[in-house]
Structure 1
C-alpha cells in the first residue's frame, strides 16, 4: 500500500521499450503522413507495450498535437487497436476527454510491419496520479471541495460513456489515465481497454478467455471482485467502472489504495481500513458522507447491488451542490452484447 502510487521500475520500462521496438524500427520517425496531412514528430512523450506517444506539429496549420503510434503485430492486435480508435472517435467531443482528430494505417519505409497512427489533442499536463503523489510528498491532503470537483469530472466522463448506445465500459478508470490541469479540468486520455461488450462466462473455455482478456484490459488495484472470480458467473460490465471510481475517490481521501495487489483480498471486497464495518474512520469529519457513499454504493462486492453512475451522481450532487448527470431517456439505449 505505502505512501505513493505504484510506478514501473526502470527494468520494466526497459522491457516495455523492448516490446514496443521489436519487429519495427528502433529509430523514431521525424515525420508522418496521416489522412493526407503531414505531421512533424517533435519528441517522444511516453511509451508502453507496442505503442508510442509523441508531441507533433501539423505542418499546414502549425498547431501542436499528440501522435500515438501502434505497431500492428498481428490481426488480433490490429482489431483491438481499431476498436480503440472507433470508441475514442465516437466519444468525442467531450470537455473531459482528449479530443480525437484523425487516424490512419501507415506503411513507412523501413519498418516491416504496418502502423496505426492516431492524431489527438495535445496536453502536457501531469496525470492525476502524478499530482496525487506531489500532494502526498508535501503532506497536503485534498480539501473536500477538491474531492467533490475531481469526482464530478470523473463521474461526468463515466456517465457520458455509460449513456452511449450500447453503453461503453471503460474498464481502466484510474488516476494514471486522467491528465490533470486543475480540480475542475481533467481529461481522460486512454481508451485501449474500453468495450461495448460484457462478459458472463458460462463454462471453462469462457472463463479461460475472459481471464486472459480482462487481465490485459484491467489494472489489478482497480479491478472489481466479479472480474477476478469469473466462476461466480456474475456479469462483468459497466458496473466495473463504478468500483474503479470508488477506488479513485478512496485514494483522494485517504492517500492510500483500499486494497493491496492481492487477488484474494480484492475478491473479499472490503477495504482493510473498514474490515470491522466502520466507515466512519475518516481523516476529517466533512469526508464522512462521501466515504459512506463510496462504501455503500461503489465498493460493493455484488455488482447487482452496486449503484449505477447516475445514482452515484445524484447522491454526490446532494452533498456537493454540483448539478447531477441526467439519466438517458427510457428506450434510447440498446443494451450491450455478450462477448460469448
Structure 2
C-alpha cells in the first residue's frame, strides 16, 4: 500500500488505484501543505498532506510520520487512509491521505469563543479533554510521545470528539541523554520540533545526564487545558512580547482570579503543570482525575472566564 501515485490529469491524482479530485488548499507550512480532495468513487472529502523532502533525512522523517499513523487505530488519533512517495525532477514529496474533519482545530473553536466573549461549558470542556487524554494514553502505552501537543494539533469532529494530529514530531518516549553533546542534540531538536509556548521546561536546557520521557507531553497537555479554560495558552503572551518562555516555565502556573471553572479543575491544572518532570503525573492518573471530575461536573453553562 502507498507506493503508487500518478497525476492522471489536471486537478486529479490517483493513489493506490483510487482517483481523487482537488477541491481547494487548506493549509500551508514551511515544508508541507494540505489540500482538500474528494474521492471520485465514494464522494468523501479527504485532507491530502504533502511533505517536501529536500534531503534523505527529511524523507526518513516523512516515512516515520507514516509509520506513526500506522501504529494506531484509535478514535482519538487521526488515521491514515493511504500514502505515497512521489519522485519528480530529482525531488521527493511524501503524500499522506488523511480523513477530513470539517469542524477544524480546537484552537479555531476557542478563538470563536473568545471573539464572542464566551467560554466553554465545563461539562463540554471535560468531555473534549478526556478524549485528548485518551488519545495521548494510547500513544504513551505504545512507548511513544507526541512531543508537539497544542490546540492547533487537535481536531474536533461534529460531535466534539477530539482527534490528535500532526504525528511528525513523535518519537520514542524515553530518551537517555549521556553527555553534553547528546544534550545539545536533543535541545536543538526540541527547538525545531516542539512549539515554544507548549514546550516542557526540561527541553529548554537539557541536562548532560538525564532521561527525557513522555512527561514532556503532560506539560503540553496542561498548557492545552489552560488554553481551553482561559482561551489562550499560559505562555502565548510572553512569547508574543519577546520575553523568555524558558524562564517563565520555571515558575508555578498562575490561574487568574477571574477563572470561573470548578476548584477541582483548577487543582487538576496545577497538578499537571509542574516544572519538575519527576513530580509530574502520568497520563493514566490524569485521565482518572478527568473522569472523576466528569462524574461530579455540573450541567450548568459557564458563560464567562
TM (norm. structure 2) is 0.85
**Residue 17 of structure 1 corresponds to which residue in structure 2?**
none
Structure that is richer in strand per residue: 2
1:184-223 counterparts in 2 under 5 A? 184-223=160-199
Report whether the alignment pairs 1:103 with 2:87: no
Matched, 1:264 2:240: no
Assess, with a 3 A threshold, how the Cα gap between structure 1 residues 49 and 315 changes in structure 2: closer, same or farther: same
**Which residue of structure 2 lines up, in the alignment, with residue 310 of structure 1?**
284
Q: Which residue of 1 aligns with 2:294?
A: 320
Which residue number in structure 2 is paired with residue 140 of structure 1? 118
Classify 1:182/1:148 alpha carbon distance in 2 versus 1 (closer, same or farther; 3 Å).
farther
Q: How many residues align?
A: 281
Confirm or deny: 8 A CA contact 1:34 1:117 kept in the other structure. no
For structure 2, which runs of at least 5 residues remain unmatched after alignment?
Answer: 1-9, 297-305
Give runs of ≥4 in structure 1 deviating > 4 Å. none
| Post-superposition CA distance 1:298-339 (Å, at most 9, x none) | 1111111110000111122222129xxxxxxxxxxxxxxxxx
C-alpha contact 2:178 2:208 (8 A) present in aligned 1: no
Partner of 1:169: 145
The secondary structure found in structure 2 opposite 1:230 is coil
The alignment yields a C-alpha RMSD, in angstroms, of 2.1
Aligned residues of 2:225 and 2:269 also touching (Cα < 8 A): yes
8 Å CA contact 2:197–2:245 kept in 1: the answer is no
Whether the 8 Å CA contact 1:161–1:168 is kept in 2: the answer is yes
1:300 — aligned with what?
A: 274
SS of the counterpart of 1:173?
Answer: coil
Query: Structure 1 pair 319/272, CA: closer, same or farther in 2 (3 Å)?
Result: closer
SS of alignment partner, residue 268 of structure 2: helix
